[in-house]
Chain A
Amino acid sequence: MLNASNINFLAYHRGVNQEGQFFALFVIVVAAAEAAVGLAIILKVYKHFKTIDLDKIAEIKD
């Protein structure tokens, strides 16, 4: 999310063309969708493993 917002800022402004603005809008939308799904995954992992410390989550299938 952090680098999504930074890349958004750096590259997608309307320098000469108008398309950069729309591209930035869609990047915001995609980042929002990604954040929602990512947090759902984190919640599920927490419910299962009771921790979100990645070093303690060692097995794929128990």
Chain B
Amino acid sequence: MTELVFYFFASTAIISALFILITKHVLHAALALVVILLSVAALYVFAQAEFVAVTQIMIYVGGIVVLIVFGVMLTNDISGRINMKSLNRLSGGLIALVLFTLLIYGVQYLPMGVSGQKGAIPMEVLGELLLTTYLLPFEIAAVLLLLALIAAAVIAGHNLRSEKI
């Protein structure tokens, strides 16, 4: 029974990904991205990583897809051309097929035994580990976010008033 739900979410992820490849309308692609991210979050719940699933929904769907939709909205001409065209589909498809077969061969050789530890990590243990064992990536991620914030604000470039001085 649980396998059926797993296959359902996996198939919605794959079908939405194929839809993104086929469609020419940018906003349809953004909505298909939402479907992909929600089904991948459901798959995370299957892997007993609920915190990562909720974090993915909050950050990806609630942040990044909103950013994408804003970007599409702000970079359109008044005539409303929101269609994408893609060149070099044949070579892109060939490279994707080669990578796909390589990945399938690679995944079979991963040393993943049946997990000796069932059950999810409780939240307080996760928070504690994040601040003790994984402190360095945590701080680096904080600095990276600060850098991204400053960089995005500078690159997007509002006119500074200091030119009139």
Q: Which residues of A contact B (CB under 8 A)?
A: 1-2, 5-6, 8-10, 13-16, 18, 20-22, 24-26, 28-37, 39-44, 46-47, 51-52
Bound together, the chains give a CA A24 to CA B90 distance in angstroms of 32
The A interface, classified by DSSP as helix, strand, loop or mixed, is helix
Q: Which residues of B contact A (CB under 8 A)?
A: 13, 17, 20, 33, 36-37, 40, 43-44, 47-49, 51-52, 55-56, 59-60, 63-64, 67-68, 70-71, 74-75, 77, 103, 107, 110, 112-113, 115-117, 121, 126, 129-130, 134, 137, 141, 144-145, 147-149, 151-153, 155-157
Residues of chain A contacted by B112 (CB below 8 angstroms): 15-16
Top 10 nearest A-B pairs (CB, nearest first) are A33-B148, A15-B112, A40-B152, A40-B155, A46-B75, A13-B47, A40-B156, A35-B64, A39-B71, A36-B152
**Is the beta-carbon distance between A28 and B75 smaller than 8 angstroms?**
no
Q: A15-B112, A40-B156 are in contact. Are A32 and B134 (CB under 8 A)?
A: no
**Is the beta-carbon distance between A22 and B137 smaller than 8 angstroms?**
yes
Q: A10-B107, A13-B49 are in contact. Are A43 and B40 (CB under 8 A)?
A: no
Looking at the complex, which one of B67, B74, B117 makes contact with A46 (CB distance below 8 Å)?
Answer: B74
